[in-house]
Amino acid sequence: MRVKLSHLADKQEWTHHKHRVHEDRTLQGLESLLNGKIGQKAFLWFLQSEFSEENLQFWLACEEYRVTPPWQQGAKAQSMYCQYINPGSPQEVNLDAETREALLRVMEEPAGDTFHEAQQHVYHLMAKDSYPRFLRSPHCLEALRVP
Protein backbone atom coordinates (compact mmCIF):
# COMPACT_ATOMS: atom_id res chain seq x y z
CA MET A 1 0.00 0.00 0.00
CA ARG A 2 2.82 2.41 0.80
CA VAL A 3 4.36 1.94 -2.59
CA LYS A 4 1.13 2.92 -4.29
CA LEU A 5 0.67 5.98 -2.10
CA SER A 6 4.27 6.97 -2.67
CA HIS A 7 3.71 6.56 -6.38
CA LEU A 8 0.68 8.86 -6.19
CA ALA A 9 2.69 11.50 -4.36
CA ASP A 10 5.41 11.30 -7.02
CA LYS A 11 2.78 11.54 -9.75
CA GLN A 12 1.21 14.60 -8.13
CA GLU A 13 4.63 16.21 -7.76
CA TRP A 14 5.44 15.46 -11.42
CA THR A 15 2.08 16.80 -12.58
CA HIS A 16 2.65 19.99 -10.57
CA HIS A 17 6.16 20.31 -12.04
CA LYS A 18 4.88 19.82 -15.62
CA HIS A 19 2.18 22.44 -15.03
CA ARG A 20 4.75 24.90 -13.63
CA VAL A 21 7.10 24.35 -16.61
CA HIS A 22 4.22 24.85 -19.06
CA GLU A 23 3.15 28.02 -17.24
CA ASP A 24 6.73 29.38 -17.30
CA ARG A 25 7.01 28.67 -21.04
CA THR A 26 3.67 30.37 -21.67
CA LEU A 27 4.75 33.48 -19.77
CA GLN A 28 8.07 33.57 -21.65
CA GLY A 29 6.30 33.06 -24.98
CA LEU A 30 3.89 35.91 -24.31
CA GLU A 31 6.78 38.14 -23.24
CA SER A 32 8.61 37.39 -26.50
CA LEU A 33 5.45 38.08 -28.49
CA LEU A 34 4.89 41.43 -26.80
CA ASN A 35 8.52 42.51 -27.30
CA GLY A 36 8.07 42.75 -31.07
CA LYS A 37 5.81 45.07 -33.06
CA ILE A 38 4.67 42.27 -35.42
CA GLY A 39 3.76 40.05 -32.46
CA GLN A 40 1.91 42.90 -30.75
CA LYS A 41 -0.07 43.65 -33.90
CA ALA A 42 -0.97 40.01 -34.50
CA PHE A 43 -2.03 39.53 -30.88
CA LEU A 44 -4.05 42.78 -30.97
CA TRP A 45 -5.73 41.65 -34.19
CA PHE A 46 -6.65 38.38 -32.49
CA LEU A 47 -7.93 40.11 -29.34
CA GLN A 48 -10.03 42.48 -31.44
CA SER A 49 -11.65 39.47 -33.11
CA GLU A 50 -12.61 38.31 -29.60
CA PHE A 51 -13.65 41.79 -28.42
CA SER A 52 -11.06 41.70 -25.64
CA GLU A 53 -8.35 44.06 -26.85
CA GLU A 54 -8.59 46.22 -23.72
CA ASN A 55 -6.18 43.91 -21.87
CA LEU A 56 -3.37 44.39 -24.38
CA GLN A 57 -4.11 48.09 -24.75
CA PHE A 58 -3.91 48.51 -20.97
CA TRP A 59 -0.66 46.53 -20.83
CA LEU A 60 0.85 48.72 -23.56
CA ALA A 61 -0.40 51.89 -21.83
CA CYS A 62 1.34 50.71 -18.64
CA GLU A 63 4.58 50.22 -20.57
CA GLU A 64 4.32 53.81 -21.83
CA TYR A 65 3.38 55.09 -18.37
CA ARG A 66 6.52 53.61 -16.80
CA VAL A 67 8.68 55.97 -18.88
CA THR A 68 6.41 59.00 -18.49
CA PRO A 69 8.20 62.00 -16.95
CA PRO A 70 7.15 62.51 -13.31
CA TRP A 71 5.53 65.87 -14.06
CA GLN A 72 3.12 64.16 -16.52
CA GLN A 73 2.32 61.09 -14.42
CA GLY A 74 -0.63 62.59 -12.55
CA ALA A 75 -2.63 63.45 -15.66
CA LYS A 76 -1.68 60.23 -17.46
CA ALA A 77 -2.54 58.09 -14.40
CA GLN A 78 -5.97 59.72 -14.13
CA SER A 79 -6.59 59.20 -17.83
CA MET A 80 -5.61 55.52 -17.61
CA TYR A 81 -7.73 55.03 -14.50
CA CYS A 82 -10.78 56.51 -16.21
CA GLN A 83 -10.23 54.47 -19.37
CA TYR A 84 -9.27 51.06 -17.95
CA ILE A 85 -9.82 50.78 -14.19
CA ASN A 86 -12.91 52.72 -13.15
CA PRO A 87 -15.93 50.37 -12.97
CA GLY A 88 -18.04 50.85 -16.08
CA SER A 89 -15.25 52.57 -17.98
CA PRO A 90 -15.14 52.18 -21.78
CA GLN A 91 -12.31 49.64 -21.76
CA GLU A 92 -12.48 48.29 -18.22
CA VAL A 93 -9.99 45.50 -17.56
CA ASN A 94 -10.77 42.57 -15.30
CA LEU A 95 -9.08 43.24 -11.96
CA ASP A 96 -9.82 41.66 -8.62
CA ALA A 97 -11.13 43.97 -5.90
CA GLU A 98 -7.86 43.88 -3.93
CA THR A 99 -5.77 45.05 -6.91
CA ARG A 100 -8.32 47.72 -7.81
CA GLU A 101 -8.42 49.06 -4.23
CA ALA A 102 -4.61 49.09 -3.93
CA LEU A 103 -4.41 51.06 -7.16
CA LEU A 104 -7.04 53.53 -5.99
CA ARG A 105 -5.02 54.19 -2.81
CA VAL A 106 -1.92 55.26 -4.75
CA MET A 107 -3.73 57.36 -7.36
CA GLU A 108 -3.42 60.53 -5.27
CA GLU A 109 0.37 60.50 -5.66
CA PRO A 110 1.16 58.42 -8.75
CA ALA A 111 4.70 57.18 -9.34
CA GLY A 112 6.41 55.24 -12.11
CA ASP A 113 5.29 51.90 -10.65
CA THR A 114 1.68 52.89 -9.90
CA PHE A 115 0.19 50.40 -12.36
CA HIS A 116 2.74 47.61 -11.88
CA GLU A 117 0.54 45.23 -9.88
CA ALA A 118 -2.49 45.77 -12.15
CA GLN A 119 -0.31 45.32 -15.24
CA GLN A 120 1.06 42.03 -13.88
CA HIS A 121 -2.48 40.83 -13.11
CA VAL A 122 -3.63 41.58 -16.67
CA TYR A 123 -0.47 40.00 -18.10
CA HIS A 124 -1.16 36.75 -16.25
CA LEU A 125 -4.78 36.79 -17.44
CA MET A 126 -3.60 37.14 -21.04
CA ALA A 127 -0.98 34.42 -20.56
CA LYS A 128 -3.47 31.93 -19.12
CA ASP A 129 -6.47 32.75 -21.29
CA SER A 130 -5.97 34.71 -24.50
CA TYR A 131 -2.44 33.70 -25.44
CA PRO A 132 -3.06 29.92 -25.60
CA ARG A 133 -6.10 30.56 -27.83
CA PHE A 134 -4.02 32.92 -29.96
CA LEU A 135 -1.44 30.17 -30.52
CA ARG A 136 -4.18 27.94 -32.00
CA SER A 137 -5.66 30.71 -34.15
CA PRO A 138 -5.16 31.69 -37.79
CA HIS A 139 -3.91 35.06 -36.48
CA CYS A 140 -0.82 33.35 -35.08
CA LEU A 141 -0.17 31.51 -38.33
CA GLU A 142 -0.52 34.79 -40.21
CA ALA A 143 2.03 36.44 -37.91
CA LEU A 144 4.49 33.61 -38.51
CA ARG A 145 4.32 33.84 -42.29
CA VAL A 146 7.37 35.41 -43.85
CA PRO A 147 6.45 38.41 -46.08
Are 80 and 61 in contact by the 8 Å Cβ rule? The answer is yes
Name the pTM for this structure: 0.77
Instruction: Using CA atoms of 101, 58, 68, 117 in order, give the dihedral in degrees to the nearest 10.
Output: 40
| Domain count across the chain | 1
Q: What is the pLDDT of residues 124-134, one digit of tens each?
A: 999 999 999 99
Which CATH number belongs to the domain containing residue 25 in this structure? 1.10.167.10
pLDDT at 16: 40
User: Closest Cα to residue 132, out of 17, 43, 63?
Assistant: 43
pLDDT tens, residue by residue, 51-74: 999 999 999 999 999 999 999 999
Residues in CB range of 100: below 8 A, 6 or more apart = 85, 118
Determine the structural domain holding residue 30 and report its residue range: 2-144
- The 8 Å CB, 24+ separation contacts for 16-25 are 23/127, 23/128
Q: Is the predicted pLDDT of residue 101 greater than 90, yes or no? A: yes
